[in-house]
Structure 1
Amino acid sequence: MHKRVLGFLIMVTLIVSLTTGCGGNKSETVDVTDQEKSDFTGLSSGNVTLRVWGAKEDEELINQIISSFAAQYKGQATFNISFEPHSEASCKDDLLGDVINAPDVFTFADDQLMSFIASGVLKKVENVIEITGRNIPAACSAASFGSTLYAYPLTADNGYFLFYNKKYVNEEDARTMDGLLGAADACGKKVFMEMNSGWYMYSFFGNTDMEIGLNDDGISTFCNWNAKYTDITGIDVAEAMARIGSNHAFSSVSNDGFAAGAADGTFVAGVSGIWDESAIKDAWGDDYEAVKLPTYTVAGQQLQMASYAGYKLVGVNSYSENADWAAKFADWMTNEQNQKLRFNLRGQGPSNIKASESEDVAGSKAIKALWQQADYSDLQRVGGKYWDAAATFGTLMSEGNPSGKDLQVLLNEMVTGITGEETTGDAPGQEAETTDEAAEDIEKSADGADPEEAKDTEIIVDEKAEDHPEKAVDSPDDEAEKPVGDMQNQYGKDAESNDDENTDKTVEHTITGNGEKIEESKFDTFGERLEGIGGITGKGKIERPKAEETKTNESSDSEKVSEKNTETEDIEHQAQK
Structure 2
Amino acid sequence: MKRLIAATLVAAMGVSLLTGCGVSNKSHDNTQVGTTENSSDKAKNKEVKMHVWCSKDDVDITTQMIESFKEANKGTDFNIIIEESEDSDARDNILSNVHNGADVFPIADDQITSMVAGGALYEIEDVDAVKKANDESAVEAATIDGKLYGYPLTADNGYFMYYNKNYFSDSDVATLDGMLDIAGANGKYLTMDWSSGWYLYSFFGNTGLDFGVNDDGVTNHCNWNAIITDIKGVDIAQAMLDIAAKPGFKNCVQDDFIAGVQDGSIIAGVSGCWNAAKIKELWGDDYGAVKLPTYTCAGQQIQMSSFKGYKYMAVNAYTKYPEWANKLAQWFTNEDNQKLRFEMKNVGPANKAAAADDAVKKVPAIMAVMDQAQYGKLQRVGNSYWDAATEFGEKMAAGNPDNTDLQEIMDNLVAGITQSVAE
TM over 0.5: yes
Q: How does 1:114-129 map to 2 (within 5 A)?
A: 114-129=113-128
Provide the secondary structure at the position in 1 that maps to 2:88: coil
Query: Which whole-Å CA distance do the structure 1 matches of 2:42 and 2:326 have between them?
Result: 11
What's the counterpart of residue 396 of structure 2? 397
* Matching residue of 1:267: 266
**1:66 alignment partner in structure 2:** 66
Q: CA deviation at 1:195?
A: 1.8
| Aligned equivalent of 1:91 | 90
Could you say which residue in structure 2 is the equivalent of 1:428? none
Q: Cα offset for 1:14?
A: 4.3
Tell me the distance in 1 between the aligned counterparts of 2:366 and 2:42: 38
1:388-467 paired onto structure 2 within 5 Å: 388-420=387-419
Q: Distance in 2 between matches of 1:153 and 1:349?
A: 11
Pairing 1:350–2:349 present: yes
Letter in 2 for 1:69: F
Percent identity, please: 46
Specify the alignment match of 1:13 in structure 2: 11
2:40–2:323 CA contact under 8 A, matched in 1: no
Q: Secondary structure at the match of 2:87?
A: coil
Residue 117 of structure 1: CA displacement?
A: 0.6
Q: Which range is displaced more, 81-90 or 195-204? A: 81-90
Distance 1:135 1:51 in 2: 25
Match of 1:386 in 2: 385
Where in structure 2 are the equivalents of 1:282-321 lying within 5 Å?
Answer: 282-321=281-320
Q: Distance in 1 between the 2:402 and 2:282 partners?
A: 37
In the other structure, the counterpart of 1:374 is 373
Task: Determine the structure 2 residue equivalent to 1:245.
Answer: 244
Aligned to 1:192: 191
Aligned to 1:212: 211
Q: Provide structure 1 residue ranges, at least 5 long, that are not aligned to the other structure.
A: 16-39, 421-473, 482-577
Whole-Å separation in 1 of the counterparts to 2:399 and 2:276: 30
- Give the Cα–Cα distance (whole angstroms) in 1 for the partners of residues 395 and 145 of structure 2: 38
- Aligned to 2:92, the other structure's residue is in SS state helix
1:54 deviates by 1.2
Which residue is 2:179 aligned to? Answer: 180
- Alignment partner, residue 439 of structure 1: none
Amino acid at match of 2:63: N
Is this contact kept in 1: 2:338–2:349, CA < 8 A?
A: yes
Tell me, in whole angstroms, the C-alpha distance in 2 between the residues paired with 1:301 and 1:354: 39
User: Residue type of the partner of 2:302?
Assistant: L
* Length, aligned pairs only: 397
Q: Provide the rounded CA distance (Å) in 2 between the counterparts of 1:388 and 1:144.
A: 29
Give 5+ residue unaligned stretches, structure 2: 14-38
CA contact (8 A) 2:94 2:120 kept: no
Question: What displacement does 1:41 show?
Answer: 7.8
Alpha-carbon distance in structure 2 between the residues aligned to 1:246 and 1:113: 40
Query: Could you say which residue in structure 1 is the equivalent of 2:49?
Result: 49
Q: Secondary structure at the match of 1:10?
A: coil
Q: CA offsets, 1:480-505, max 9 Å, x none?
A: x9xxxxxxxxxxxxxxxxxxxxxxxx
Question: 1:203 matched to which residue of 2?
Answer: 202
Amino acid at match of 1:105: V
* Contact preservation (8 Å) 1:10, 1:81: yes
Q: Which residue of 2 aligns with 1:133?
A: 132
Aligned to 2:20: none
Q: Give the C-alpha shift of residue 262 in structure 1.
A: 0.8
Read off the aligned partner of 1:325 and give its amino acid letter: W
Asked if the contact 1:156/1:349 (under 8 Å) is kept, the reply is yes
Task: Write the distance in 2 (CA, Å) between the matches of 1:43 and 1:143.
Answer: 30
Q: What whole-Å deviation, never above 9, does each CA across 1:320-362 have from its counterpart, x for those lacking one? A: 2222211110011111111001100001101101111111111
Contact 1:14 1:74 in 2 (8 A): no
Cα 1:209–1:74 change in 2 (3 A) is: same
Which AA in structure 2 matches 1:71?
A: E
Q: What amino acid is aligned across from residue 302 of structure 1 in structure 2?
A: Q
> Is the CA contact (8 Å cut-off) linking 1:296 and 1:304 kept in structure 2?
yes
Post-superposition offset of 1:419: 1.2
C-alpha distance 293-93 of structure 1, shift in aligned 2 (>3 A) = same
Q: CA deviation at 1:260?
A: 2.5
Q: 1:43 and 1:337 mapped to 2: Cα distance?
A: 29
The range that moved more, 112-121 or 164-173, is 164-173
Aligned to 2:21: none
Which amino acid in structure 2 is aligned with residue 66 of structure 1?
I
Match of 1:338 in 2: 337
- 1-structure distance, mates of 2:410, 2:359: 45
What is the alpha-carbon distance in structure 1 between the residues aligned to residue 307 and residue 236 of structure 2? 18
Give the Cα–Cα distance (whole angstroms) in 2 for the partners of residues 322 and 118 of structure 1. Answer: 22
Given that 1:12 and 1:70 are in contact with CA atoms closer than 8 Å, whether structure 2 keeps it comes out as no
Q: Deviation per CA, 1:338-396, whole angstroms, max 9, x where unpaired?
A: 10011000011011011111111111111221232122111111111111111111111
Letter in 1 for 2:70: A
| Partner of residue 108, structure 1 | 107
SS of the residue 2:246 aligns to: coil
Once residues 105 and 255 of structure 1 are traced to their aligned partners in structure 2, the CA distance between those partners, rounded to angstroms, is: 30
Shift of 1:217: 2.8
Change (3 A) 1:121 1:254: closer
Instruction: Give the number of the structure whose alpha-carbon radius of gyration is greater.
Output: 1
Alpha-carbon distance in structure 1 between the residues aligned to 2:151 and 2:3: 24
Note the alpha carbon deviations across 1:444-470, whole angstroms, 9 max, x for none: xxxxxxxxxxxxxxxxxxxxxxxxxxx
Deviation of 1:137 (Å) = 1.0
Please give the residue correspondences for 1:426-575 in structure 2 after superposition, counting only pairs within 5 Å: 479=422
Map 1:137-148 to 2 at 5 A. Answer: 137-148=136-147
1:154–1:350 Cα contact (<8 Å) kept = yes
Report SS of the residue matched to 2:267: strand
Q: For residues 357 and 323 of structure 1, what CA distance do their matches in structure 2 show?
A: 31
1:258 deviates by 1.9
- Cα deviation digits, residues 86-108 of structure 1 (max 9, x gap): 11122211222222221111111
Q: What amino acid does structure 2 have at the position aligned with 1:51? A: H
Q: Is the 8 A contact 1:195 1:394 kept in 2?
A: yes
How far is 1:139 from its partner?
Answer: 0.2
Equivalent-residue separation in structure 1 for 2:40 and 2:50 (angstroms): 19
Q: 2: CA distance between counterparts of 1:52 and 1:402? A: 50
Q: Which string of whole-angstrom CA distances, capped at 9 and with x for unpartnered residues, describes residues 521-572 of structure 1?
A: xxxxxxxxxxxxxxxxxxxxxxxxxxxxxxxxxxxxxxxxxxxxxxxxxxxx
Contact 1:196–1:391 under 8 Å retained in 2: yes
| Conserved 8 A contact 1:226-1:415 | yes
1: CA distance, partners of 2:139 / 2:251: 33
Contact 1:172-1:179 at 8 Å conserved across structures: no
Offset at residue 171 of structure 1 (A): 2.4
Task: State the alpha-carbon separation in 2 of the partners of residues 166 and 255 from structure 1.
Answer: 20
The Cα of 1:237 is off from its aligned counterpart by: 0.3
How much has 1:156 moved relative to structure 2? 0.4
Whether the aligned pair in 1 keeps the contact of 2:389 and 2:413 (CA below 8 Å) is: yes
